[in-house]
Amino acid sequence: MHGTVNAFGLTEGSSFWNDFRYRRGSEIFGEAEPADRLYQVKSGAVRTFKLLPDGRRQIGDFHLAGDIFGVESGDAYRFTAEAIVNTRVGIARRETVFCQFSKENTFPGADVLKLVAKNLEHAENHVLLLGRQNALEKIAFFLTEMDRRLESPKLLMLPMSRRDIADYLGLTHETVSRSLSLFRREGILAFPGKSQRQIMLRDRSRLVQLAFSPDIGSQLS
Amino acid sequence: MHGTVNAFGLTEGSSFWNDFRYRRGSEIFGEAEPADRLYQVKSGAVRTFKLLPDGRRQIGDFHLAGDIFGVESGDAYRFTAEAIVNTRVGIARRETVFCQFSKENTFPGADVLKLVAKNLEHAENHVLLLGRQNALEKIAFFLTEMDRRLESPKLLMLPMSRRDIADYLGLTHETVSRSLSLFRREGILAFPGKSQRQIMLRDRSRLVQLAFSPDIGSQLS
DNA sequence: CGACTCCTTGACAGCGTTCAACAGTAGTGG
DNA sequence: CCACTACTGTTGAACGCTGTCAAGGAGTCG
C-alpha cells in the first residue's frame, strides 16, 4: 500500500480508488440502491438529496474536492447523488476499503464511525438551521460554511446554482437571489466576475454575526 | 452478566445501568459538557435540543421508554437533554459499556456505530421534514411517528407540550394547536380524555397520506 | 451561434407568525 | 382538601416573511 493517509485513515492516491468522470447533472448513485461503494470527489462537486413523492427536493449536503460521500452503515443509499458540474470521482468497493482498514487498525470500524459521526454532526446543525433560522440567517450561514470549506479564498467560486442553494436551505431560488442582492446592496458581498456564482465576501465578521441574529436583517434596507 | 440482549447488543436490566430520577423540566446533561455517560429511558420521556444565542430552541429528538440517548463519538454532548415529565433513567459510564462490548463482540465499535447510524438516519429524515414540508404535513408526520414508536396504542398519550412539538417541527405552538384542531374537526383525530395530550387517531391511513401531500390540507375547511 | 438554463426583479398572495385574550388544567402550599 | 397560581392550550385578528407567478435579461454549454 502506498499514498498518504488522511484524517480518516483513508489513503489518498492509493490503488483502490478507481477514477470515474460524471457530466454535470448526471446521477452517481440513486436512493435505495445497494450501497456497495464509497466515493471521493477528486475535482468538481456533488449534491446528495432526497425527493418527496411530488418532486420537492431537499439537498442534504454538498461534497467538494477531497470529500468522501456515499458512506452508509446499512445496505442501501439513503440519498441520491448527482454531479453538480463535470466531476472526477474516485470509487472504491466498500469491502475493499473496510477490509484494508481491518488490516491496518487495531480498532476496525473506528474510521467508518468517524465518517458517519461527521455526517451526523452536519445533519444536526442542518436541522437547527432549517427549523429555527430565517432566510437571511440561512444565506449568511451558507456563505460562511462554503467560505470555510473552500478555505476562505479571495473569491468564492460556488459550483451550485441558486436553486441548489435553495433546496439546501429550505427556500425558493427567488428568495436566495433576493437575499444575496440585499447583501450586495449592503456592501457585505460583491459579484466581481461575469458569473453570479463568483462571490467576494467583503465583510466576513458581519456575515457570521448575521448568521445568528434574526433581527439584524430587518434593519437592512 | 445477566439480562436480555436487545437489538443494539445492550443488555437490559443489567448491572451497569444505575437508576436515576429526574423531575420534569430538569436537565440531564448540557450541551458541550464532557460526554462520559450513556443513558437509557426506563420510564417517562426526554427531549434533546439545541439553543440559538437568542433563545430559539430546536428539539432534535424525543426519547421514550427503552430509548438510548447521549451517544456521542466525540468528547462532548452536542445537545442538552431534559426530562419532559418525571422520568426514570439508567445511566452507565461510557467506558464501562464500550468495554463490555469489546468482550462480547468480535467487531467492537459495531454497536456504537449502529446507534450513531440510527441517529443519523433520524436526523436526515428530520432535515427533509423541516426543509420541505408544510405545517399540516409536519403535524401528520409527527403523529404518525409517535404512533409507531408507542406501538399504535388505542389512545396516544403524548408526554410533550404543544411547544415541545412546535420546537421539534420548526413551528410555533399556536400553529401546532390550530393544525390539531383542524384534524379534529375533520374527524381524523379526537381528544377523548380531559387532557389534550391524549389523542385518538381515528384515521391512520389518512394521516399517512396527509404527511406527504401538501395540497390536501388546503382542501380541508 | 443558438437554445437552453440560470439569475434577477416586480407584484401579489398566502401561510405561518405575532400579539392578545381567555379558558382549562395541573402543580403548589396552606 | 381547597384555594391560589402558573402553566398549557385554544382561538381570533392582523401582520409580514416567504412563496408564487410572471417577465426579461444574462450567461453558458453544446
A179 close to A135: Cβ distance less than 8 angstroms:
yes
Strand C footprint, Cβ within 7 Å: A 161-163, 173-174, 176-178, 180-181, 191, 196-197; B 134-136, 170-172, 174-175, 178, 194-195, 218
The percent helix, strand, coil of chain B (3-state, each to 5) is 35, 25, 40
The rounded distance, in Å, linking the Cα atoms of B132 and A67 is 26
State chain A's mean pLDDT as an integer: 90
Structure letter (DSSP) for residue A75? S
Average pLDDT on B118-144 reads 98
Q: CA-to-CA distance for A87 and B117, rounded, in angstroms?
A: 28
Cβ <8 Å between A117 and B117: no
Q: How far apart are CA B218 and CA A95, in angstroms?
A: 49
- Predicted local distance difference test score (pLDDT) of residue B107: 42
pLDDT tens sequence across A64-93? 999 999 999 999 999 999 999 999 999 998
Which residue in this structure is represented by grid cell 448540557?
A: B30
Nearest to B115 by CA among B103, B101, B131: B101
CB atoms within 10 A of CB B153: 10
The Å distance, CA of B138 to C1' of C22, is 28
Q: Any CB–CB contact under 8 A between B120 and chain A? A: yes
> Any atom of strand D under 7 A from CB of A24?
yes
**A127 has a pLDDT exceeding 70:** yes
| pLDDT higher than 60, residue A1 | no
What pLDDT, on the 0 to 100 scale, is given for residue A107? 42
How far apart, in whole angstroms, are the C-alpha atoms of residue B105 and residue A199? Answer: 51
Q: Which residues of A touch B56 (CB under 8 A)?
A: 132-133, 214
B139 vs B130: CA distance, rounded Å = 11
Tell me what pLDDT residue A4 has: 58
Q: Chain B contacts of A175, Cβ < 8 Å?
A: none
pLDDT at position A215, please? 84
Q: Cell numbers 437571511 correspond to what residue?
A: A136
CA dihedral sign, ordered A119, A122, A124, A129: negative
What pLDDT does B215 receive?
84
